Homo-oligomer: A and B are copies of this chain.
Amino acid sequence: MKLITRDTDYALRAVCFIVKNKKMVSVSDLVRELKIPRPFLRKILQVLNKKGIVRSFKGRGGGFTLGLRPEKIYLLDLLRIFQGPLKLNECTLNKKKCPKISVCPLSSKLNNIEKHVIKELKSITVASLIK
């Protein structure tokens, strides 16, 4: 099981690079640096732009700058953007109501795990990864 998928990972790397570079960064710069497939990276950056993580500038000399301060960019947010909500305790039979064999003590235990994971992920910001 993976916790972090590629798009999230790429997004994180891209954002980190943009932070370090201070100035405007183009997709070409990022591709050169990160060796990520260009069209895929473009798609990812467009999402980051829409979410305000990054700001885009069109036209010649354009590219991307940071949209938020690095301390305000949480790994958890990136994860949610690209992978949807983190729900570790989803009961697969939920729609049909749990049948008699109620294994539901499980649910509370999974909830605890989930809370811990979320707390930890919240503590990871781009700023904390850069320094």
Binding site for B on A (CB under 8 A): 1-6, 9, 12-13, 16-17, 20, 33-35, 75, 83-84, 86-93, 96, 99-101, 103, 105-106, 109-110, 112-114, 116-117, 120-121, 123-124, 128-129
Contact = CB atoms under 8 A, between A and B. Distances in A.
Contacts of A33: 99-101
Contacts of A16: 101, 103
Indicate how many identical chains form the complex. Answer: 2
Contacts of A129: 103, 105-106
Given A1-B88, A88-B3, A113 B103 contact: no
A17 B128 CA distance: 47
A99 B1 contact: no
A18 B3 CA distance: 32
A1 B124 contact: no
B113 A1 contact: no
A111 B115 CA distance: 17
Contact of A88 (B2, B6, B90, B123): B2
A62 B67 CA distance: 65
A5 B92 CA distance: 8
Most B CB atoms within 10 A — which of A5, A88, A96? A88
